[in-house]
Amino acid sequence: MLIAQLKSEVQNNADLTMLSDEQLQALIERMLEERMKWMQVGDPQAFLELSAMNFREKRFVTSAVFEAIRGLGVLGQIINDPDITEVMINGYKDIFVEKAGKLTELTEHFESRRELEIIINKFVSQAGRQVNESEPIVDTRLDDGSRVNVVMPPVALNGPIVTIRRFPKEAMTVQKLIDYGSITPEVAEVLQMLVECKYNVFVSGGTGSGKTTFLNALSNFIPSDERVITIEDSAELQIKNIRNLVRLETKNAGPDGKGAIAIRDLIKSALRMRPERIVVGEVRGAEALDMLQAMNTGHDGSLSTGHANSTYDMLSRLETMVLQGADGLPLEAIRTQIASAIDIIIHLSRLRDKSRKTVEIVEVLNYDSDKRRITINSLYEFRENEQSSKNKVVGQLVRTDNPMKNVEKLRNAGIDRVI
């Protein structure tokens, strides 16, 4: 209530277009103090409540009013909390956030559907995109790199829907994955060898399993003197150690329905840019064919991710995606191409206690024409130990008894080691 009243007073008493951000912040602070002085006489009880606020609480009020006027309103307040990893806005009244893997409904909400629509158009336009009734779905990002999906009416029946996936300000590292228990130091060392020796690696997993985060960590192993091209729907990857880096992002069609640039268009263009490696943030459809062809035509060491519930499920989904880009291509030819393109699949999962773990690392061997399926060889599996319970998963990746068979790239790099 106080935030809404103070916002109204500021808007009614100043020409906000003439004020800088610093001047607006100072005005809000001054009007809060004036409001307290007025209440001391006119509403002693309210004055006592306001005067009991400490410095931090007053700072929160002034920041909230500033965000409501010039920033992203309630959304600006929410994303200022570094512990929030996901934001789900289901219409202007219902807001849910994820903290430490747990969903919570907030009491805060937008003042109206119109306010939420204004804020959506603000950050969508800042990213060079648009959303309206004729184009009601858009993927974009916020200034801090957070990934945003927006669905507007008439597609969304309960008002504008906004889903925000937030990422740490500091890029994910392999050491952090070790600290979180996602992988072991031994696995980290093996993954470093595989990336440096240009094995084509695919990271699979369900929604929220940490695929992009893991891909960021793997990218730290790419030698800094290589030319790398990243391709994404909305830029999320935080590759810091590569100087010769090209970042490409898809583009939606304009109001006339023209000008759309898809991931497969960017992959084809990237092949003309003399890349040593191509990193595709996520493969979802027909672009899978182009990605596999790139891996098969001298661009070893490429990395990508995809949605799947298991490693075999990922292979099956890749078949389906390739068919979207090459309808009529024999299934045997597709499976042969997948087997020859992808060397390693790392499967991630979100377990029952909401923790994110690497649950399997396999090598893709070949297409078995007799069994009519792609052969894989499991190298590491996540195994729970006796400390696990219904509410807490405890365990680690364990090396299987299966020897690694696809060692040619290791040998070509001069590494004679048994993995």
Contacts by 167-173, CB closer than 8 A, 24 or more apart: 167/212, 167/213, 167/236, 167/238, 169/82, 169/144, 171/216, 171/220, 171/238, 171/239, 171/240, 172/213, 172/214, 172/216, 172/217, 172/238, 173/217, 173/220
- From CA 79, how far away is CA 391, in angstroms rounded? 29
Q: Report the candidate in 218, 223, 238, 229 with the shortest Cα–Cα distance to residue 348.
A: 218
Q: Please determine, for residue 374, whether its predicted confidence score (pLDDT) is greater than 70.
A: yes
Asked which of 76-80, 155-159, 277-281, 371-375 is least confident by mean pLDDT, the reply is: 76-80
What's the average model confidence in pLDDT over 179-193? 91
Check residue 55 and give its pLDDT.
Answer: 61
- From CA 136, how far away is CA 121, in angstroms rounded? 12
The per-residue DSSP string of 24-37 comes to HHHHHHHHHHHHHH
pTM beyond 0.85, yes or no: no
Where do the domains of the chain lie, and which CATH numbers do they carry? 1-70 (no CATH), 73-165 (3.30.450.370), 174-413 (3.40.50.300)
3-state secondary structure labels for all residues of 205-237: ECCCCCHHHHHHHHHCCCCCCCCEEEEECCCCC
- From CA 174, how far away is CA 195, in angstroms rounded? 13
Check residue 42 and give its pLDDT.
Answer: 54
Q: Are strands 344-350 and 356-368 parallel, antiparallel or unpaired?
A: antiparallel
DSSP 8-state code for residue 418: -
What's the average model confidence in pLDDT over 291-299? 85
Residue 16, classed as helix, strand or coil, is: helix
Q: Report the candidate in 358, 231, 359 with the shortest Cα–Cα distance to residue 303.
A: 231
pLDDT band at 75 (very low <50, low <70, confident <90, very high): confident
Q: pLDDT tens-digit profile of 164-174?
A: 988 776 767 88
Q: Are 261 and 253 in contact (CB under 8 A)?
A: no
- Paired residues of 378 in beta bridges: 362
Radius of gyration, alpha carbons of the chain: 25
Residue 125: phi and psi, rounded to 5, are -70, -35
- From CA 220, how far away is CA 201, in angstroms rounded? 14
Q: Which helix (H) or strand (E) holds 43?
A: none
Residue with tokens 């003399």: 274
Q: pLDDT tens-digit profile of 216-270?
A: 899 989 999 999 999 998 778 888 889 999 999 888 776 666 778 989 999 999 9
- Paired residues of 48 in beta bridges: none
* Residue 349 neighbours by CB under 8 Å, 6+ apart: 205, 206, 209, 356, 357, 359, 382
Q: Are strands 201-205 and 161-165 parallel, antiparallel or unpaired?
A: unpaired
Q: Give the pair of three-digit tokens for residue 281.
A: 């943030």
Q: Please determine, for residue 140, whether its predicted confidence score (pLDDT) is greater than 70.
A: yes
* Residue 366 neighbours by CB under 8 Å, 6+ apart: 339, 340, 374, 375
Q: Which helix (H) or strand (E) holds 419?
A: none
Check residue 194 and give its pLDDT.
Answer: 96
Residue 98: phi and psi, rounded to 5, are -110, 130
Q: Give the pair of three-digit tokens for residue 77.
A: 């307040």
Q: Give the pair of three-digit tokens for residue 19.
A: 């004020």
pLDDT band at 65 (very low <50, low <70, confident <90, very high): confident
Q: Are 344 and 295 in contact (CB under 8 A)?
A: no
What's the average model confidence in pLDDT over 276-295? 90
Check residue 143 and give its pLDDT.
Answer: 77
Residue with tokens 């001054």: 30
Q: Give the pair of three-digit tokens for residue 62.
A: 């002034």
Check residue 417 and give its pLDDT.
Answer: 81
- From CA 216, how far away is CA 224, in angstroms rounded? 14
